[in-house]
Amino acid sequence: MGMSKKPYQQVPIIDCQEPLVPIPLDIFAVSSPHPYQNLGAPYGDKSPYYLRQGAIDRLIAAQTELQQRQPGWRIQIYDAYRPIAVQQFMVDYTFREIAQKQGLNPGELTPQQRENILDIVYKFWALPSQDPSKPPPHSTGGAVDVTLVDAANRTVNMGSPIDEISPRSYPEHFAKSADPVEQQYDRHRQLLWEIMIAAGFERHPNEWWHFSLGDQMWAWLRDRQNRDRQVIARYGGVT
């Protein structure tokens, strides 16, 4: 498949060797069944509900902040650790899905059609790179996809589902809307962003649900905002 250069991939990594550990699912809400396992993604003996210890600590801090602001609400875990084989599976799955939506046969594309679809795919999915200097964020144990559930355990409406390949996924998509319902979507996204940022995460520029801690994307985003003097990722790929 085509290449997509991401600016954060230039960030150096000095892995702190923090362990990849199970997320304490009893304290969070969880999407069930797991969306990619349900599609047949090849996790093998790995669990998607793992993160680095530091990311779990910060996720708990984010939920504590949330519950001070919205009693009874919880963070819902959609996806966390992703082996590179799963990243490849989901890139291929998304590629086929987009081709079919465009009325194209994924096996009979011109080079230009293929490139156009890959450009769309890689706006939302990281390259499933085996290069240890360019791991996909989810393969580091430092990236997590989350949304919110309210006190009645209902998923809070963010205006678009996680993983939707469309401009509605961009975090600020509803920010200037005059529609009261869309303004509510924006407030929900803002709340999620505020609790996660307060806990030390950074948000993916194109995805309201994706937050990183310690990986290359996190370091790159912090550097852009001048939050740290020296930008080094502390989480590399975990196999």
Within 10 angstroms of residue 54's Cβ, the number of other Cβ atoms is: 18
Instruction: Report the DSSP beta bridge partners of residue 21.
Output: 51
CB 76 within 8 A of CB 28: yes
Give the C-alpha distances (Å, rounded to integers) separating 228 from 13, 70, 168, 217, 223. 15, 30, 30, 14, 6
Helix, strand, or coil (residue 51): strand
Q: Please compute, for residue 212, the number of CA atoms within 13 A of its CA located in the half-sphere on the CB side.
A: 26
* d(C-alpha 11, C-alpha 228), whole Å: 13
Task: Tell me whether residue 65 is one of the annotated catalytic residues.
Answer: no
> Comparing C-alpha atoms, which of 162, 161, 136, 21 is closest to residue 82?
136
Among 65, 108, 202, 207, which one carries the catalytic annotation? 207
| Residue 124: count of CB within 10 angstroms of its CB | 18
Catalytic residues: 207
